[in-house]
Structure 1
Amino acid sequence: MKLSVRRCSKVSVCTVLKAEEKSINKIHECGESSCLVTVSKAEPPSESDNDIIPRGEQADYQGRKSANVSYQRPTCPQDIHAVLREMSSMLAEQKVELRHLQRENEAQAAKLGELKQQVQEQAGELTAVKAKTNVTENQVEALMRDREVKQVAFSASLLASGSGIMGPFNAHTNLVFRHVTTNIGNAYSPNTGFFIAPVRGAYHFEFYIGAHGSSHPSAAWLVKNGQHIFIAYEHQPSHYGSSSNGATLLLEVGDVVFLRLLVNTRIFDSEDHHSTFSGHLLFTICTSVRV
């Protein structure tokens, strides 16, 4: 803005306001932000501006000139720094909450890892328990089988029915006792006359041989795996007679025990069962024991 002052010989100094023909823009600092303050362009001076204005009228003139100058009041938006402070506070809270969630997540992840470890350990323990259970079941089954096997006993007579004499034969002949009264464990076979040991142990055997008549003696061997163990022999002068014997044997699993009639001898039996073959398990023996 340019002020022009002219002197008059008749009156005191007159002030004439003369505006340049351009707008004046001034930046007004509003707190933390910048607002634009605009002063509108003044009208070009008229010829009356150069007139001499009496001192008393200068105030009115200046008021009228001031009215020609318009100010645009600064329109400041919301305080940006306040908004930034609020946003910073919210961001800080979110960061704190995020860190809290991260810590919770880490804690839950650690707990999940512990649970997985526990599940794996429990799975291992369950596998071990199952293995032990299987072993226990096998042991129980073995004990049951062993108990069943330990219950071994048999007794049989020579003829299945009726009465009669067998022999004499011109060779040793294996005897088959057909009439079975007891066969616990089914270790004796009435088809072959063989007793086959189901377990290693001590067995006791007894046998009785009936004799009838005076022409031939009666004799039988107790045989183990083809080996003659004991003999029962009777040769009566007349009528009826009998002989017997017995033995306790250590048998391995699969050993065979039976009776064999000697060559040129005979054996008698009837419904009264004079000739019999019996045996039973006394006790089992571990394989580490040697006799």
Structure 2
Amino acid sequence: MMVTQQSSADRMKIIVFSSLLLLVCSVSADQTETESLQQTTANQHPCLQDIHAVLRELTASLAVLKEQISVLQRENQDHENKLKEVERQKTEIEQLKQQLKANQVAFSAAQFDKGEGNTGPFNTQTTLTFKHVVTNIGNAYNSHTGMFTAPVRGAYHFEWHIYGHGDIRTGAYLFRNGDYIFSAYEHPTSGGVSGSNGASLLLEVGDQVYVRLWDATRVYDNQNHHNTFSGHLIFTM
């Protein structure tokens, strides 16, 4: 009976000791885990500080980049505006050149380019062609048709000279778009005679001016270029 009681007491001691040992181990483990967590947190603080510092630097760099982009955009817009202004000025210059070119109009031509002979008489009025072109600034005169076509609206001056010999009359009209303006006329009795006239006309763009030989008359021309037709722009309107 004594042995049994002693065994029970021993077992109780073992249990108490084991419990105390587990409690100590548990406390030690908790303390170790707490220290480890504190150490990890302490180690993380420098990392977070570094990240915040990098973010601040990136934010500052981004702001600088945005400002630089804005400056470049403004400079680019200035360049575009200057380029547009240059293009506008070039266009104006080209327009002025075209206007100046259109305002430079003058021509002078004789009837025969080579050879000699009479033209006429004909039963109807006949447009004379002056093929020996001395001047044709602005290319408004057509030597194939004898027509001058006004390139711009303005005041123009024209002159025409005719020559004939023998006993046949010599005469020529100045026409504008089919309308009779003035005439030059001579009636030789012997030898040669010449007649001439001139007129200043207000012409619209596309108006045509030309010289027509009278019906039943004739003119004579040779290398001396007796018969001529000339004109020039006085001023635009």
Same-fold call, TM cutoff 0.5: yes
Higher helix proportion, which one?
Answer: 2
Q: Which residue of 204, 216, 234 corresponds with 1:264?
A: 216
CA distance in 1, matches of 2:182, 2:69: 72
What residue number does 2:120 align with? 167
The answer for the alignment partner of 2:5 in structure 1 is none
**2:193 alignment counterpart:** 241
1:266-291 deviation line (CA, Å, top 9, x unaligned): 22222111110011223333xxxxxx
How much does 1:78 deviate? 9.8
Structure 2 vs 1, CA of residues 202 and 91 (structure 1 numbering), >3 Å: closer, same or farther?
farther
Structure 2 CA distance for partners of 1:206 and 1:112, relative to 1, 3 Å: same
1:208: how far off? 0.8
Identity %: 40
Q: Which amino acid aligns with 1:152?
A: V
Structure 1 residue 127 displacement after superposition: 4.1
1:114 is displaced (CA, Å) by 3.8
| CA displacement at 1:77 relative to structure 2 | 5.6
Indicate the SS of the match to 1:34.
helix
Match of 1:223 in 2: 175
Displacement of 1:191: 0.5
Structure 1 residues 135-146: aligned runs within 5 Å? 135-146=88-99
Alignment of 1:60-139 (within 5 A): 80=35, 84=38, 87-139=40-92
Task: Select 2:109's aligned residue among 153, 156, 159.
Answer: 156
Partner of 1:54: none
Q: Which has the higher contact order (CA 8 A, sep 6+)?
A: 2
String of CA shifts for 1:177-218, please: whole Å, max 9, x gaps: 11112222221111100111222333221111112123x322
Q: Aligned-residue CA RMSD in angstroms?
A: 3.1
Q: Distance in 2 between matches of 1:99 and 1:250?
A: 86
d(CA) in 1 for partners of 2:199 and 2:129?
19
Could you list the runs of 5+ residues in structure 2 that have no partner in the other structure?
1-8
Q: String of CA shifts for 1:119-171, please: whole Å, max 9, x gaps.
A: 54445444444433333333333233333333322111111222222122211
* 235-244 vs 110-119, which moves further: 110-119
Letter in 2 for 1:106: T
Cα distance in 1 between the residues matched to 2:134 and 2:188:
29
**Equivalence map 1:267-286=2 (5 Å):** 267-285=219-237
- Structure 1 residues 210-235: Cα deviation after superposition (integer angstroms, max 9, x where no partner): 12123x32221111111222221222
Count of matched residue pairs: 223
The answer to whether 1:202 aligns with 2:155 is yes
Distance 1:279 1:171 in 2: 25
Gaps of 5+ in 1: 1-17, 37-75, 286-291
SS at match of 2:54: helix
- Which has the higher mean CA deviation after the structures are superposed, 171-180 or 106-115? 106-115
Deviates more, 1:190-199 or 1:231-240: 231-240
Q: Is the radius of gyration larger for structure 1 or structure 2?
A: 1
Cα distance, 1:21–1:94 mapped onto 2, change above 3 Å: closer
Question: How far apart, in 2, do the equivalents of 1:155 and 1:87 lie?
Answer: 107
From 107, 125, 130, the equivalent of 1:177 is 130
DSSP 3-state at the match of 2:27: strand
Q: CA deviation at 1:259?
A: 0.6
Counterpart residue identity of residue 281, structure 1: L
- The DSSP-based 3-state class of the residue aligned with 1:231 is strand
